[in-house]
Protein backbone atom coordinates (compact mmCIF):
# COMPACT_ATOMS: atom_id res chain seq x y z
CA UNK A 1 0.00 0.00 0.00
CA UNK A 2 1.16 3.54 -0.72
CA UNK A 3 2.46 5.33 2.38
CA UNK A 4 3.44 8.98 2.77
CA UNK A 5 4.64 11.16 5.62
CA UNK A 6 3.18 14.56 6.46
CA UNK A 7 5.19 17.10 8.45
CA UNK A 8 4.75 20.85 8.89
CA UNK A 9 6.44 23.62 10.82
CA UNK A 10 4.09 25.51 13.14
CA UNK A 11 3.44 28.37 10.70
CA UNK A 12 2.68 25.86 7.92
CA UNK A 13 0.23 23.65 9.82
CA UNK A 14 -2.85 25.51 8.44
CA UNK A 15 -1.43 25.04 4.93
CA UNK A 16 -0.95 21.29 5.34
CA UNK A 17 -4.49 20.96 6.73
CA UNK A 18 -5.80 22.81 3.66
CA UNK A 19 -3.72 20.55 1.39
CA UNK A 20 -5.09 17.44 3.10
CA UNK A 21 -8.67 18.71 2.67
CA UNK A 22 -8.01 19.28 -1.03
CA UNK A 23 -6.61 15.75 -1.49
CA UNK A 24 -8.76 14.06 1.15
CA UNK A 25 -10.40 11.57 -1.20
CA UNK A 26 -7.06 10.30 -2.48
CA UNK A 27 -5.35 10.46 0.92
CA UNK A 28 -8.12 8.37 2.49
CA UNK A 29 -6.97 5.42 0.35
CA UNK A 30 -3.32 5.41 1.46
CA UNK A 31 -1.40 5.06 4.73
CA UNK A 32 -0.50 8.38 6.32
CA UNK A 33 2.32 8.94 8.80
CA UNK A 34 3.01 12.22 10.57
CA UNK A 35 4.96 13.83 13.31
CA UNK A 36 3.03 14.14 16.57
CA UNK A 37 1.40 17.55 16.40
CA UNK A 38 0.94 17.63 12.64
CA UNK A 39 -0.61 14.16 12.67
CA UNK A 40 -2.90 15.06 15.55
CA UNK A 41 -4.14 18.21 13.83
CA UNK A 42 -4.76 16.37 10.55
CA UNK A 43 -6.77 13.67 12.33
CA UNK A 44 -8.76 16.14 14.43
CA UNK A 45 -9.53 18.52 11.57
CA UNK A 46 -10.08 16.10 8.67
CA UNK A 47 -11.00 12.79 10.26
CA UNK A 48 -8.25 10.95 8.37
CA UNK A 49 -6.27 8.38 10.28
CA UNK A 50 -2.59 9.26 10.69
CA UNK A 51 0.01 7.04 12.30
CA UNK A 52 1.62 9.51 14.65
CA UNK A 53 5.29 9.44 15.46
CA UNK A 54 6.80 11.57 18.21
CA UNK A 55 6.67 15.33 17.81
CA UNK A 56 9.48 16.82 15.76
CA UNK A 57 11.47 18.14 18.74
CA UNK A 58 11.32 14.69 20.32
CA UNK A 59 12.66 12.88 17.25
CA UNK A 60 9.57 12.29 15.12
CA UNK A 61 11.34 13.56 12.02
CA UNK A 62 14.15 11.09 12.70
CA UNK A 63 11.63 8.27 13.09
CA UNK A 64 10.25 9.17 9.67
CA UNK A 65 13.81 9.26 8.32
CA UNK A 66 14.29 5.72 9.60
CA UNK A 67 11.21 4.62 7.66
CA UNK A 68 12.68 6.17 4.53
CA UNK A 69 15.91 4.25 5.14
CA UNK A 70 13.84 1.05 5.43
CA UNK A 71 12.06 1.89 2.13
CA UNK A 72 8.74 2.02 4.00
CA UNK A 73 7.64 5.42 2.63
CA UNK A 74 6.72 6.42 -0.92
CA UNK A 75 7.03 10.16 -0.33
CA UNK A 76 7.30 12.97 2.19
CA UNK A 77 5.46 16.28 2.38
CA UNK A 78 7.36 18.59 4.74
CA UNK A 79 5.86 22.07 4.56
CA UNK A 80 8.52 24.14 6.18
CA UNK A 81 8.82 27.78 7.10
CA UNK A 82 12.18 28.85 5.65
CA UNK A 83 12.05 32.34 7.16
CA UNK A 84 10.84 31.95 10.73
CA UNK A 85 11.30 28.30 11.72
CA UNK A 86 11.71 27.93 15.45
CA UNK A 87 14.60 26.04 17.09
CA UNK A 88 12.21 23.36 18.41
CA UNK A 89 10.92 22.51 14.93
CA UNK A 90 12.23 19.63 12.81
CA UNK A 91 15.25 20.28 10.63
CA UNK A 92 14.93 19.29 7.02
CA UNK A 93 18.64 18.60 6.39
CA UNK A 94 18.65 14.98 7.58
CA UNK A 95 15.35 14.18 5.83
CA UNK A 96 16.55 15.75 2.60
CA UNK A 97 19.73 13.68 2.70
CA UNK A 98 18.00 10.36 3.43
CA UNK A 99 15.35 11.03 0.77
CA UNK A 100 18.08 11.72 -1.79
CA UNK A 101 19.98 8.57 -0.81
CA UNK A 102 16.85 6.42 -1.20
CA UNK A 103 15.31 8.29 -4.16
CA UNK A 104 12.20 9.14 -2.13
CA UNK A 105 10.34 12.26 -3.29
CA UNK A 106 10.27 15.12 -0.77
CA UNK A 107 8.02 18.15 -1.21
CA UNK A 108 8.73 21.28 0.83
CA UNK A 109 6.21 23.73 -0.67
CA UNK A 110 2.50 23.60 -1.43
CA UNK A 111 3.20 23.50 -5.17
CA UNK A 112 5.70 20.65 -4.95
CA UNK A 113 3.37 18.78 -2.57
CA UNK A 114 0.58 19.01 -5.13
CA UNK A 115 2.90 17.59 -7.81
CA UNK A 116 3.90 14.74 -5.49
CA UNK A 117 0.29 13.92 -4.58
CA UNK A 118 -0.89 14.21 -8.19
CA UNK A 119 1.88 11.80 -9.20
CA UNK A 120 0.82 9.32 -6.54
CA UNK A 121 -2.82 9.70 -7.58
CA UNK A 122 -1.93 8.65 -11.14
CA UNK A 123 -0.94 5.27 -9.72
CA UNK A 124 -4.60 4.73 -8.79
CA UNK A 125 -6.04 5.61 -12.20
What does the pLDDT profile of the chain (125 residues) look like in tens digits? 899 999 998 889 999 999 999 999 999 999 999 999 999 999 999 999 999 999 988 889 899 999 999 999 999 999 988 777 566 555 678 899 999 999 999 999 999 999 999 998 887 66
Name the strand (E) or helix (H) holding 45: helix 36-46
Name the strand (E) or helix (H) holding 7: strand 3-8
- Whole-number pLDDT of residue 125: 64
Mind telling me the catalytic residues? 61
76 forms beta bridges with: 5, 106
The answer for residues whose C-beta is within 8 angstroms of residue 66's C-beta and 6 or more apart is: none
Instruction: Tell me the C-alpha distance between 90 and 5, whole Å.
Output: 13
107 forms beta bridges with: 77
Rg (CA), the chain: 13
- Whole-number pLDDT of residue 93: 84
Annotated binding site for substrate: 9, 13, 35-38, 55-56, 88
CATH no. of 3-122: 3.40.50.1380
Instruction: Tell me the C-alpha distance between 75 and 46, whole Å.
Output: 20
Amino acid sequence: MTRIALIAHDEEKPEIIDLVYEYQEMLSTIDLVGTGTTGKRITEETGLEVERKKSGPLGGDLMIGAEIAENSLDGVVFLRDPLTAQPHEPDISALLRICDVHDTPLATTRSSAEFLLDGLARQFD
